[in-house]
Structure 1
């Protein structure tokens, strides 16, 4: 049985690994239109080999202590996930990323999953800073950062190109000091 962290009575957070490429692809296929609006990899993960390749990249990053990827399962179905992108224990920083299929949104699953990861990143691994970045038009993502007690630090103007359009990117962060005052357990 793989590692699993309960998020609710019917949802859990688990590592998302290369051997789950078929399940990951099915999830992306089902939610592709909604995911592709904000996550570029939704257009890259188009067959099982590419799904395995994407998950393998995170497996290699985990082995090198440079990133991690976790899935969120609701009633046994993969419905979303969270990533530790750019995990840098030397500088004490990481960036969190998240995605959720439309049918599972509004249940607080991303918020709960990110709370667990922040607790691990700062409380166990000893990092000092967790960043959350989202395009300025992604109001759901910004609301999640706000709910987590992250501090809005500013906007990187024209910092992200997606679908041929240039987008501004909001930067939110939680430092160790913020975490010690966090709004959850």
Structure 2
């Protein structure tokens, strides 16, 4: 199996459909922490939902239009990074992430997102990589900044979640800027 070492105890590797049970258990344990920001977590916390989620990304990967990778710490699934949007024609993709609360503050998401962006730009030739987050999600904003992204703007009240409309910030880095951020 291919993997990328993130730290001494953490690695990034494929999160495939056969790992649906592991994903559903991980998301169920972190659901309270993740649900305020990620609408898909509630559905994917069930075995059936996790299987559908992972199959959707496996199908996208087979078409060359996205992928999802997991972050394992000491052999335990603890988060992930994915291409939520992948548009070959426009050369634009969007990176999304999640992490268990007990793993925050270790730089795992920044390292994993760096690897994904580097692959998108250097291997797949993407021109623009976006990062979108609810404006109130300060940890997510800080990751975008650490990645060298610029704030393009705010989509006011564009994201309905749990009966509230949230502002969404759009951050990006262009391929021509990416080497300078590394």
TM-score > 0.5, shorter chain as reference: yes
- What residue in structure 1 maps to residue 82 of structure 2? 83
Contact persistence 1:160–1:166 (CA under 8 A): yes
- Cα deviation, residue 180, structure 1: 2.4
Confirm or deny that 1:19 pairs with 2:18: yes
User: What are the superposed Cα offsets for residues 8-63 of structure 1, whole Å, 9 maximum, x if unpaired?
Assistant: 11100011111000100110111010010101111112421221111101111111
Say if 2:138 is the partner of 1:126.
Answer: no
- Structure 1 residue runs of 5 or longer lacking an equivalent are none
Q: Secondary structure at the match of 2:177?
A: helix
**Structure 2: tracts of 5 or more residues without a match:** none
Aligned to 1:106: 105
Query: Which whole-Å deviations, capped at 9, do the CAs of 1:59-95 have from their partners, x for residues lacking one?
Result: 1111111111010000100000001011112211100
Runs of 4+ in 1 over 4 A off after TM superposition: none
CA distance in 1, matches of 2:74, 2:100: 14
Contact 2:23 2:45 in 1 (8 A): no
Distance 1:46 1:10 in 2: 25
Using the alignment, how far apart are the partners of 1:50 and 1:157 within structure 2?
30
TM-score scaled by length of structure 2? 0.98
User: Which residue is 1:171 aligned to?
Assistant: 170
- Asked whether the equivalents of residues 66 and 85 of structure 1 are also in contact (C-alpha less than 8 Å), the reply is no
> Following the alignment from structure 2 to structure 1, what is the Cα–Cα distance between the partners of residues 161 and 132?
14
Please give the root-mean-square deviation of Cα atoms over the aligned residues, in Å: 0.8
Per-residue Cα deviation, 1:109-164 (whole angstroms, up to 9, x for no partner): 00000111111100111111000000010000000000111011110111100001
Counterpart residue number, 1:94: 93
1:161 aligns with 2:160: yes
| TM norm structure 1 | 0.96
Q: Distance in 2 between matches of 1:66 and 1:123?
A: 16
The secondary structure found in structure 1 opposite 2:7 is coil
